[in-house]
Amino acid sequence: MASLVANLNSAFVPTILDAPYDPQAFDSLPGLGLAAHKFKEMDAMAKVVGPIRDLFLRHRVHTELGLGLLHKHFPIGPTQRLVDCRNVAAAWDVSDDLNAVTHKHGNSIVPRSFQLVQGKWVPYEFDFIKPSEQPQFSAQVSQKFLSELSTLLYDLSMDRIVGVRALDKHDSNLTVEVTEGKMNIMVARGDISDDQLIEALWIFGVDEDDKCHCNGFCQSSSNGHYENHSCG
């Protein structure tokens, strides 16, 4: 198997996840409420804790990748990307650069969340990192796993419902995403009432009584109109 990382001006990106950024693919993401409604309508949680979890565990990628609800909180321009810096995500201007990894302010903007677009894993959310924080996946995060996950999501009609999220920068103490204007801010779960939360990131465990950690939430703008999903 080919090397999983490639050196791009001192920034690393997995070569198996290096499809270019696609502004139209970001635009196609549904809003949070609609995404949560679709998830519940198709009983997606049973598929998450069943065959999808099984695939993550079989390939032993559950400590490196999570499963994310595909959604966006606000539109951004075609020359912008949603970039997280110190737990605040906002639209950053990157001109017409569509490379998976780009650079700004002496550091790197690297993919962290991916969606399936015509069979390719296309990045739609990014982290701002120092060169010393270069993300590298283990050999377990292989083309074989991503190919099998692609096939499974298409077979389950989940390809426009969920995507994958790298966990290396995930802070388990800040699990709720709230939106202020055109910024997403991560806060502790206890800061927001549970009836206002929609689950948006699932991290899988090995034990049967710990099938998934619902470890990322978004605050609903509709005061809980869309119900939370149980991890089962």
Q: Does residue 147 carry a pLDDT above 90? A: yes
Return the higher-pLDDT residue of 172 and 47. 47
Which position has the token pair 């995404």? 35
Amino acid 209: pLDDT: 57
Give this prediction's pTM: 0.84
Segment 44-103, tens digit of pLDDT? 999 999 999 999 999 999 999 999 999 999 999 999 999 999 999 999 999 999 999 999
Percent of the chain with pLDDT over 70: 83
Q: Does residue 228 carry a pLDDT above 80? A: no
Band the pLDDT of 119: cuts 50, 70, 90. Answer: very high
* 100 Cα distance to chain centroid: 15
Amino acid 229: pLDDT: 38
d(CA 126, CA 55): 25
- Mean pLDDT, the chain, rounded, equals 84
Helix, strand, or coil here: 195?
helix
Amino acid 143: pLDDT: 87
d(CA 39, CA 160): 10
